[in-house]
Amino acid sequence: MTKLSLPALDPETAPRREGSGYPAPFRAPVATRSWRTLGDALGLTQFGVNLVTVPPGCWSSQRHWHTHEDEFLYLLEGELVLVTDAGEQVLGPGVAAGFPAGSPDGHHLVNRSDRPASFLVVGTRATGTDETFYPDIDLEVRIRDGREVYVRRNGETY
Protein backbone atom coordinates (compact mmCIF):
# COMPACT_ATOMS: atom_id res chain seq x y z
CA MET A 1 0.00 0.00 0.00
CA THR A 2 1.31 3.46 -0.94
CA LYS A 3 1.54 5.92 1.92
CA LEU A 4 -0.14 9.21 1.05
CA SER A 5 1.26 12.46 2.34
CA LEU A 6 -1.06 14.64 4.37
CA PRO A 7 -2.32 17.80 2.64
CA ALA A 8 -0.88 20.00 5.38
CA LEU A 9 2.02 22.39 5.41
CA ASP A 10 4.10 24.25 7.96
CA PRO A 11 4.19 27.75 6.37
CA GLU A 12 7.82 28.17 7.43
CA THR A 13 8.76 25.40 4.97
CA ALA A 14 7.14 27.13 1.96
CA PRO A 15 9.40 29.08 -0.40
CA ARG A 16 10.02 32.63 0.87
CA ARG A 17 10.36 35.54 -1.51
CA GLU A 18 11.23 39.16 -0.81
CA GLY A 19 11.07 42.47 -2.64
CA SER A 20 9.31 43.10 -5.92
CA GLY A 21 9.56 42.70 -9.66
CA TYR A 22 8.37 46.29 -10.17
CA PRO A 23 10.65 48.40 -12.33
CA ALA A 24 12.65 51.14 -10.58
CA PRO A 25 11.69 53.46 -8.96
CA PHE A 26 8.43 51.72 -8.03
CA ARG A 27 9.99 48.87 -6.05
CA ALA A 28 11.45 50.96 -3.20
CA PRO A 29 8.27 51.15 -1.00
CA VAL A 30 7.85 47.35 -1.14
CA ALA A 31 11.53 46.33 -1.04
CA THR A 32 11.39 44.72 2.41
CA ARG A 33 8.05 42.90 2.18
CA SER A 34 8.20 39.11 2.02
CA TRP A 35 5.78 36.33 1.23
CA ARG A 36 5.51 32.56 1.30
CA THR A 37 3.74 30.86 -1.61
CA LEU A 38 1.49 28.49 0.33
CA GLY A 39 -0.77 27.69 -2.61
CA ASP A 40 2.18 26.70 -4.79
CA ALA A 41 3.70 24.60 -2.02
CA LEU A 42 0.40 22.71 -1.69
CA GLY A 43 0.01 22.20 -5.45
CA LEU A 44 -3.04 24.46 -5.84
CA THR A 45 -3.71 25.51 -9.43
CA GLN A 46 -7.01 27.41 -9.46
CA PHE A 47 -6.19 30.08 -6.90
CA GLY A 48 -3.08 31.40 -5.20
CA VAL A 49 -2.54 31.70 -1.46
CA ASN A 50 0.32 33.74 -0.03
CA LEU A 51 1.35 34.54 3.52
CA VAL A 52 2.65 38.12 3.33
CA THR A 53 4.75 39.93 5.94
CA VAL A 54 4.99 43.72 5.81
CA PRO A 55 7.62 45.29 8.09
CA PRO A 56 7.20 48.79 9.58
CA GLY A 57 7.34 51.51 6.94
CA CYS A 58 6.74 49.08 4.07
CA TRP A 59 3.83 48.68 1.64
CA SER A 60 2.19 45.43 0.51
CA SER A 61 2.32 46.60 -3.12
CA GLN A 62 1.82 49.68 -5.21
CA ARG A 63 -1.87 50.68 -5.20
CA HIS A 64 -3.47 48.58 -7.96
CA TRP A 65 -6.54 46.74 -9.30
CA HIS A 66 -6.96 43.67 -11.53
CA THR A 67 -9.13 43.11 -14.59
CA HIS A 68 -9.62 39.34 -14.09
CA GLU A 69 -8.40 38.45 -10.60
CA ASP A 70 -10.43 38.55 -7.43
CA GLU A 71 -8.37 39.23 -4.31
CA PHE A 72 -9.21 38.38 -0.72
CA LEU A 73 -7.09 39.15 2.33
CA TYR A 74 -7.28 38.27 5.99
CA LEU A 75 -5.10 40.07 8.52
CA LEU A 76 -3.41 37.65 10.94
CA GLU A 77 -1.27 39.93 13.10
CA GLY A 78 -0.22 43.54 13.40
CA GLU A 79 -1.89 46.64 12.02
CA LEU A 80 -2.07 47.82 8.42
CA VAL A 81 -3.72 50.78 6.74
CA LEU A 82 -5.85 49.86 3.73
CA VAL A 83 -5.70 52.63 1.12
CA THR A 84 -8.40 52.71 -1.59
CA ASP A 85 -10.13 55.33 -3.70
CA ALA A 86 -12.57 55.79 -0.78
CA GLY A 87 -9.77 56.72 1.64
CA GLU A 88 -7.93 54.95 4.43
CA GLN A 89 -9.04 52.33 6.93
CA VAL A 90 -6.99 50.81 9.75
CA LEU A 91 -7.13 46.99 9.78
CA GLY A 92 -6.31 44.75 12.74
CA PRO A 93 -6.16 40.99 13.25
CA GLY A 94 -9.27 39.11 12.17
CA VAL A 95 -10.37 41.68 9.60
CA ALA A 96 -10.99 40.57 6.02
CA ALA A 97 -11.12 42.62 2.80
CA GLY A 98 -12.04 41.73 -0.76
CA PHE A 99 -11.40 43.25 -4.15
CA PRO A 100 -13.54 41.97 -7.03
CA ALA A 101 -12.00 41.54 -10.47
CA GLY A 102 -12.71 44.42 -12.83
CA SER A 103 -13.52 46.94 -10.10
CA PRO A 104 -11.24 49.95 -10.80
CA ASP A 105 -10.67 50.79 -7.13
CA GLY A 106 -6.93 50.74 -6.54
CA HIS A 107 -5.86 49.28 -3.20
CA HIS A 108 -2.81 48.46 -1.12
CA LEU A 109 -1.76 48.10 2.51
CA VAL A 110 0.73 50.31 4.35
CA ASN A 111 2.42 49.44 7.64
CA ARG A 112 2.60 52.67 9.66
CA SER A 113 3.07 50.84 12.95
CA ASP A 114 6.29 49.95 14.75
CA ARG A 115 5.99 46.17 14.31
CA PRO A 116 5.60 43.71 11.43
CA ALA A 117 2.15 42.72 10.19
CA SER A 118 1.14 39.59 8.33
CA PHE A 119 -1.86 38.59 6.27
CA LEU A 120 -3.11 35.86 3.98
CA VAL A 121 -3.98 36.87 0.46
CA VAL A 122 -5.98 34.60 -1.83
CA GLY A 123 -6.44 35.39 -5.51
CA THR A 124 -7.66 33.97 -8.76
CA ARG A 125 -4.99 32.50 -11.03
CA ALA A 126 -5.95 34.34 -14.21
CA THR A 127 -2.56 33.92 -15.88
CA GLY A 128 -2.55 35.09 -19.47
CA THR A 129 -5.74 37.14 -19.13
CA ASP A 130 -5.33 39.45 -16.16
CA GLU A 131 -4.07 42.99 -16.56
CA THR A 132 -3.19 45.23 -13.63
CA PHE A 133 -3.54 48.99 -13.36
CA TYR A 134 -1.72 51.29 -10.92
CA PRO A 135 -3.69 54.55 -10.64
CA ASP A 136 -1.04 56.54 -8.72
CA ILE A 137 1.97 55.84 -10.96
CA ASP A 138 2.86 55.38 -14.63
CA LEU A 139 2.68 51.58 -14.53
CA GLU A 140 0.46 48.82 -15.91
CA VAL A 141 0.80 45.09 -16.39
CA ARG A 142 -0.30 44.08 -19.88
CA ILE A 143 -0.42 40.71 -21.62
CA ARG A 144 1.99 40.45 -24.56
CA ASP A 145 2.57 37.14 -26.33
CA GLY A 146 0.93 35.35 -23.39
CA ARG A 147 3.25 36.95 -20.82
CA GLU A 148 2.70 39.65 -18.22
CA VAL A 149 4.82 42.70 -19.05
CA TYR A 150 5.33 45.95 -17.12
CA VAL A 151 4.52 48.92 -19.35
CA ARG A 152 3.97 52.66 -19.09
CA ARG A 153 0.46 54.00 -19.64
CA ASN A 154 1.42 54.83 -23.23
CA GLY A 155 2.24 51.12 -23.82
CA GLU A 156 6.03 51.50 -23.82
CA THR A 157 7.75 48.56 -22.12
CA TYR A 158 9.89 49.18 -19.04
Residue pLDDT, tens place only, 43-89:
999 999 999 999 999 999 999 999 999 999 999 999 999 999 999 99
Amino acid residing at 120: L
Nearest to 15 by CA among 36, 39, 32, 34: 36
* Superfamily of domain 36-151 in the CATH hierarchy: Jelly Rolls (2.60.120.10)
How confident is the model at residue 89, as a pLDDT? 98
Query: Does the structure show a pLDDT above 90 at 6?
Result: no
The secondary structure element, H or E, covering residue 38 is helix 38-41
Instruction: Kindly report, residue by residue over 26-42, the tens digit of the pLDDT.
Output: 999 999 999 999 999 99
How far is it, in rounded angstroms, from Cα 79 to Cα 101? 25
Give the length of the chain. 158
Q: In what order do the strands lie in the sheet with 87-91?
A: 87-91, 80-84, 108-110
How confident is the model at residue 128, as a pLDDT? 84
What percent of the chain has pLDDT above 70? 96
This prediction's pTM: 0.92
Q: In what order do the strands lie in the sheet with 96-99?
A: 16-18, 34-37, 47-54, 117-124, 71-77, 96-99
What percent of the chain has pLDDT above 90? 90
CA 114 to mean position of chain CA atoms: 21
Burial environment of residue 134 by CB neighbours within 10 A (0 to 12, 13 to 18, 19 or more): buried
